[in-house]
């Protein structure tokens, strides 16, 4: 790492962050990045010179050590320490990522700090203007090159790149698998299928389209174009999300094809980050229909794979209320298959989602605890249960109380599903 001092700011080029994702209660950065430290803010950049993190240097934010992070689709997320109390117990992480739009009822008390974000971004814009006026005559070549990348990537250019990202994947990632929290949602999405099997009535993130596979040619083109979008920073990624809502239903051959090509074309073997991960969603039917071959193949891949299944409830009346066209019996069978696969395959972890909400019946909550407590005779650390609040207008306190009740009796790790998009 090289450090250069200018009037009232310093530049650190090619800083080395952690090479494994980890859960810590202080700000941590991963892979390689560069940083400009000013009196007001710390600006951190990815390997393309695109701003990625902003941290306050003057203790104006709610808690020290919080930060703003920009996603590849050019959205800002505020990482709130939320007072630290209880955050880990609720979401399994020390920091709560909050978007500018409230998406997560359970976290509605810890909202995105819009004024903090506005001030930080306008300061960044002003700082870019200042950088453009700096004389580069005596600058080392490395600094000149870095500052050119930084000033070339102003906020308008980044916005345009965000739109290009959506064009390349031909869609929007309205929700990431909850398990991608393990890599701080730092996944490269490769869409292998659109739509979903059920188009459940209660779901607000569905596309409303029927399930359709993408062709191999479309997938390869997407992977190659994504490589261009992530450019030099691709070597800071080690995780892939096979989208969208039911990639498990794409079958063994297309999953193998997509995962293997992503691994090779993104050069994940040489990533700055160790322990590659693959994430996908599945459904009750795709889990029950999946052949043993599929799991054997996934288990041999160079990734540790998380498959998240939307089960929602094992109570027939609640499933009818949610307009989810699966039977409670199928949900129970898919839960049993999840437990079985988690025990037998070392590189696969299947997790499940259930809904929580004020208006739901006691039978619904009993159906969850019958599975999460009744199907295991001791605690098992593999296979998280995610409880997903139904809407944003419920009482946060009631939801939290219900969550704690279910968590306390569950014999599987149990957390709130934090909806994150990309």
Structure tokens at 392: 């944003």
CB of 97 to ligand SF4, least distance (A): 21
Sequence length of the chain is: 422
Nearest-angstrom CA–CA distance, 289 and 283:
10
Q: Is the distance from CB of 29 to CB of 15 less than 8 angstroms?
A: yes
- The neighbouring-strand residues paired with 35 are 12, 44
> Residues interacting with ligand SF4, by CB under 6 A?
196, 198-200, 203, 205-206, 245, 283, 310
266 vs 354 by CB, closer to ligand SF4: 354
Q: Which residue, 85 or 208, is less far from ligand SF4 as judged by CB?
A: 208
For the bound state, the minimum distance from the C-beta of residue 385 to ligand SF4, rounded and expressed in Å, comes to 16
Q: Residue 244 CB, nearest distance to ligand SF4 (Å)?
A: 8
Question: Of the two residues 310 and 383, which places its CB atom closer to ligand SF4 in the complex?
Answer: 310
- Residue number, 28 or 200, with CB nearest to ligand SF4: 200
Give the C-alpha separation, 314 to 261, whole Å: 37
Nearer to ligand SF4, 52 or 324 (CB): 324
Distance from C-alpha of 47 to C-alpha of 51, rounded to nearest angstrom: 10
CA distance 227 to 234: 7
Least gap, CB of 324 to ligand SF4 (angstroms): 6
DSSP code of residue 170: T
Decide whether 178 or 310 has the Cβ nearer to ligand SF4: 310
Alpha carbons 185 and 187: distance in angstroms, whole number? 6
Instruction: State how far the alpha carbon of 67 is from the alpha carbons of 43, 97, 98, in Å.
Output: 10, 9, 11
- CA 367 to CA 240: how far, in whole Å? 33
Shortest Cβ 245–ligand SF4 spacing (Å): 4
Q: To the nearest whole angstrom, how small is the minimum distance from the Cβ of residue 114 to ligand SF4?
A: 29
Cis geometry, peptide bond prior to residue 244 (ω within 30 degrees of 0): yes
DSSP character string of 303-342: SEEEEEEEEE-S-HHHHHHTT--S-HHHHHHHHHHHHHHH
Which residues have C-beta within 8 Å of that of residue 150, sequence separation ≥ 6?
A: 36, 45, 49, 51, 128, 131
| Minimum distance of ligand SF4 from residue 197's CB (angstroms) | 6
203/294 with CB nearer ligand SF4: 203
Least Cβ distance, residue 355 to ligand SF4 (angstroms): 9
CA nearest 238: which of 176, 196, 182?
182
Do the Cβ atoms of 372 and 326 come closer than 8 Å?
A: no
Judged by beta carbon, residue 238 or residue 283, the one nearer ligand SF4 is 283
CB of 357 to ligand SF4, least distance (A): 14
Min dist. Cβ of residue 261 to ligand SF4 (A): 25
Q: Which is nearer to ligand SF4, 82 or 322 (CB)?
A: 322
> What is the edge-to-edge ordering of all strands in the sheet holding 51-56?
2-6, 9-16, 32-38, 41-45, 51-56, 67-70, 76-80, 96-99
Residue carrying structure tokens 């530049």: 11
Return the number of the residue (205 or 213) whose C-beta is nearest ligand SF4: 205
């Amino acid at each position: 790492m090289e450090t250069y001092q200018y009037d009232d700011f310093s530049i650190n080029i090619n800083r080395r962050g952690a090479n494994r994702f980890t859960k810590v209660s202080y700000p941590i950065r991963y892979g390689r990045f560069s940083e400009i430290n000013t009196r007001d803010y710390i600006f951190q950049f990815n390997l393309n010179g695109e701003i990625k993190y902003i941290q306050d240097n003057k203790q104006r934010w709610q808690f020290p050590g919080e930060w703003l992070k920009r996603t590849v689709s050019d959205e800002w997320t505020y990482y709130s320490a939320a007072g630290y109390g209880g955050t880990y117990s609720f979401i399994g992480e020390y920091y709560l990522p909050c978007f500018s739009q409230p998406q997560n009822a359970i976290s509605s008390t810890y909202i995105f700090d819009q004024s903090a974000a506005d001030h930080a971004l306008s300061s960044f814009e002003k700082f870019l203007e200042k950088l453009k006026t700096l004389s580069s005559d005596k600058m080392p070549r490395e600094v000149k090159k870095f500052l050119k990348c930084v000033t070339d990537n102003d906020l308008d250019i980044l916005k345009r790149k965000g739109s290009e990202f959506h064009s390349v994947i031909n869609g929007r990632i309205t929700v990431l698998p909850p398990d991608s929290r393990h890599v701080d949602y730092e996944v490269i999405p490769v869409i292998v299928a659109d739509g979903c099997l059920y188009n459940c009535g209660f779901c607000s993130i569905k596309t409303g389209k029927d399930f359709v596979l993408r062709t191999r040619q479309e997938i390869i083109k997407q992977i190659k174009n994504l490589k261009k979008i992530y450019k030099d920073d691709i070597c800071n990624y080690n995780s892939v999300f096979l989208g969208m809502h039911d990639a498990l239903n794409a079958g063994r051959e297309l999953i193998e094809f997509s995962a293997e090509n992503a691994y090779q074309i993104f050069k994940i073997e040489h990533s700055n980050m160790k322990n590659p991960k693959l994430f996908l969603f599945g459904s009750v039917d795709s889990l029950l229909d999946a052949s043993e071959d599929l799991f054997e193949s996934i288990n041999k891949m160079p990734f540790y794979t998380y498959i998240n299944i939307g089960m929602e409830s094992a109570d027939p009346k609640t499933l009818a209320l949610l307009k989810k066209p699966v039977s409670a019996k199928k949900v129970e069978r898919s839960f049993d298959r999840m437990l079985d696969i988690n025990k037998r395959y070392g590189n696969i972890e299947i997790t499940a989602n259930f809904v929580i909400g004020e208006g739901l019946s006691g039978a619904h909550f009993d159906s969850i605890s019958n599975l999460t407590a009744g199907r295991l005779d001791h605690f098992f650390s593999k296979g998280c249960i995610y409880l997903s609040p139904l809407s944003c207008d419920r009482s946060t306190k009631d939801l939290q109380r219900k969550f704690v009740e279910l968590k306390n009796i569950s014999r599987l790790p149990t957390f709130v599903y934090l909806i994150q998009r990309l």
